[in-house]
Amino acid sequence: MKKNNNKTHREMFEFDNLIQKEKEGALQSYREEDFRSRLSRRIDEESKTLTSPIFWFRKPVMAAGIILLLVVMGWIAAQIFITSPYERDARAIEKTLARVFDAHELLIGQSIPQVEPQRGPDNIYEFEWSLKRVIYSIQREDIPDSDIPRIFSQAIINATRIRETEDNGPSGLNTERENGFL
């Protein structure tokens, strides 16, 4: 046991000695002046890039610029590719209304008398009210988009007929009601 311990101590001493020699050898080749001058040169280089005379070439400014650019690009991409349900509805309505107004123009072209806009209680045109009613019904009934132009066209035709029957007198209105248009 004691012999073993002595052996271990001797081995420890050997590698201790070896490490000591390695350190001495390395310190001989270590040039303190070289180290200092090289380090200060590298620090100078680094601080130059940090504080470049040209404002836009300074690292923090460049980093901030890149971040800003990425944010703007991200925002633009979000506007293009990500649409909220509300935006989708708004686009669908916009598209539908464009078609409806085409149909309205068509009716005018076929010499069907145009519906005169009438102001409602809140100063809103009757035509607008009827459009809104149709939109709310579509939302309530969950009617697919393809039906929307037809429904709007039907609403406009109905409105035109009502107008016509009103012009012809109360008896005309009764006939329309009997025919089930309303």
Partner 1 sequence: MTFHKKVFLICLGFSRNAADAQDLTQEVYLKAYRNIGTLKEVKLSKFWLFKITRNTCLDFRKKHRLNRNSSIASGGEPADLTTPESQMIYQEQLRELKISIQQLPKRLREVFVLKKYGDLSYQEIAETLKIKEGTIKSRFGRACQAIIAQMKGEKDEKK
Note whether 11 binds partner 1 by CB under 8 A: yes
C-beta of 24 vs 94, nearer to partner 1: 24
Residue 100, judged by CB atoms within 10 A of its CB (0-12, 13-18, 19+), counts as: buried
Rule CB under 8 A: say whether 36 interacts with partner 1: yes
Task: Choose which of 6, 39, 61, 106 interacts with partner 1 (CB under 8 A).
Answer: 39
List 125's β-bridge partners, or say none. Answer: 119
Q: What is the DSSP string of 9-60?
A: HHHHHHHHHHHHHHHHHHHHH--HHHHHHHHHHHHHHHHHHHT-SSGGGSHH
Phi, psi angle pair for 149, to nearest 5°: -60, -40
| Residue 48 sits in the site that holds partner 1 (CB under 8 A) | no
Segment interacting with partner 1 (CB under 8 A) among 28-36, 102-110, 119-127, 142-150: 28-36
Of 6-14, 108-116, 143-151, 162-170, which segment contacts partner 1 by CB under 8 A?
A: 6-14
Query: What residue ranges bind partner 1 (CB under 8 A)?
Result: 8, 11-12, 15-16, 18-19, 21-30, 32, 35-36, 38-39, 42-43, 46
